[in-house]
Amino acid sequence: MKLHEAALRIADQMDAAAQQVSVALAEIEPARLDEWQVECFDLAWAISDLRAARSALNTANDLDRDLALLFMRQHGRRAMDRLADASLSLGLGTVHIEDVRAGEDWRELSKWAAGTRAQKLGEAVISAAGEVGAPNLSGEAELARDSFARFARATVAPLAEDIHRQDLTIPEDILRPMRELGAFGLAIPQQYGGIAEDDGEDASTMIAVTEALSEASLAAAGSLITRPEILSRALLAGGTEAQKEHWLPKIAAGNPLCAIAITEPDYGSDVASLGLRANKVQGGWRLTGSKTWCTFAGKAELLMVVARTDLDRTLGHRGLSLMLVEKPSDDGHQFRHESRDGSISGKAIATIGYRGMHSFDLAFDNWFVPDDCVIGQEAGIGRGFYLTMAGMMGGRMQTAARACGVMRAALKASIEYCGQRKVFGAPLSDYPLTLSKIANMAAKLSACRALAYEVAANVDDPNRPMAASMAKLTACRAAEEITREALQLHGGMGYAEETAVSRYFVDARVLSIFEGAEETLALKIIARGAIAQAGNGTPR
């Protein structure tokens, strides 16, 4: 217990150093902050790692608490280096950081983590079969998770490899039971046909279900409910009552399936600069322009499209609106549809992983959208950016859960393989380096799960959008690191497509890119949020 208190004191000291960096950056004119991107990036990573460490240190399970100490030792050192670099660059000196490095608390934590500690933790993780970071769920959330986990093992997992290797579209064998289980209505209140509570939101069920599905396959199941999650939140935030009553029950039933069209060829995460044109005509709008990386756009029958309804580009985000675009469903990698003197066409982008849903390039040519398909109708004109951000918060929480699911799969596969594979006369799992690797993988997973579930449950946190970005940032990078280590532990077999860890590895790589690239989250949301709070004198 004393060591955990010491770790929390270390976090407090490092938070003070981060606050010092934030205050210094707050004194810079906002228009010049891009000149300090490296320092902002380091700040965002440091405070995100510290937030994950705090979440992990608050867990009750003994193994998880020890893994939290290991995570604090690993990522605390990285956070210190980042904050020291930023402080020196800003001319602040590194007194706070050097006090931590020289302090008794850090020495005790380092002494605890030295020697055979990681090996012993690796043995404990193997004994627990990789079940670390277990969340404290309500009975309803636990029941939902277990139901989807059974479905994922029985139905998704046997199909996942073929979907990946043959680049197939997700079949009805997966979609039909997903509809029956209510997967597409997890974020939709019961009054609109979903399964979320009407009187308040706890996203823990959504996180638990997403994690269970992603453990079987990120692309064939885990990502299916992200799109209705984003669209539903946008509708709930800004749709008219008639739009909510019309669309939300349909979305909850999985009919229509949804896709999100935000990114454009010249603009990735820079949503405010999007330029797909929406020209006003009698009874509606006509869309002309391109979108890219629109996942599931072929199969989907309803697209949430961010369009520029005011063609004055100097308005930036204030000229954007959200539209609901209906189209026929297509199973192939290419489609084209014509209607009312306009057309919409799409072509799937070949990718190294994340196959099954397919990401499409889209071309709109004079495609008609009726007035009642603008989210919020007249009141929604110009609010597209804000409604998109409302939807994306849920998407980022869910992406953290997707990353945790992939991490769980990679850790469990590593434990199983290392117990069976013999080298130099002994199982891989008998060797100290293997055990240390397993422990470090488990420490990352446990901390990321703790933060993801904490953010999901804390609905009253005014800084929740920023915290959701932190959860995504840390979990997605950790998924890359853990799947890389899992592939390495499998040796040559890890590089073979017949082994599932090769799929985990290429799937995990996309996580830091979509739903907000890690650079954008770090610079524009996490760092800017910390800087704004420092300027206002408010704590994180």
The residues that are catalytic are 515
Give the integer Cα–Cα distance in Å for 484 and 504: 9
* Phi, psi torsion values for 364, nearest 5 degrees: -105, 130
How many residues are present in the chain? Answer: 540
Q: Where are the alpha helices (DSSP H) in 421-527?
A: 432-457, 464-489, 500-508, 518-520
User: What span, in angstroms and rounded, lies between the C-alpha atoms of 274 and 288?
Assistant: 12
Asked whether the beta carbons of 244 and 236 are under 8 A apart, the reply is: yes
* Closest C-alpha to 105, from 18, 5, 19, 17: 5
On whether the CB atoms of residues 277 and 310 are closer than 8 A, the answer is no
CA gap 510, 426 in Å, rounded: 36
Strands (E), 227-341: 258-261, 277-281, 284-295, 302-308, 320-326, 334-339
Q: Which two tokens stand for residue 526?
A: 């996490």
How many other CB atoms are found less than 10 A from the CB of residue 304? 27
Local structure of residue 423 (DSSP, 8 states): E
Give backbone dihedrals phi and psi of 145, rounded to 5 degrees, phi first. -60, -45
What is the helix (H) or strand (E) element at residue 64, kind and residue range?
A: helix 62-89
Tokens of 472: 């995504």
Sequence-distant (6+) residues with CB within 8 A of 191 are 198
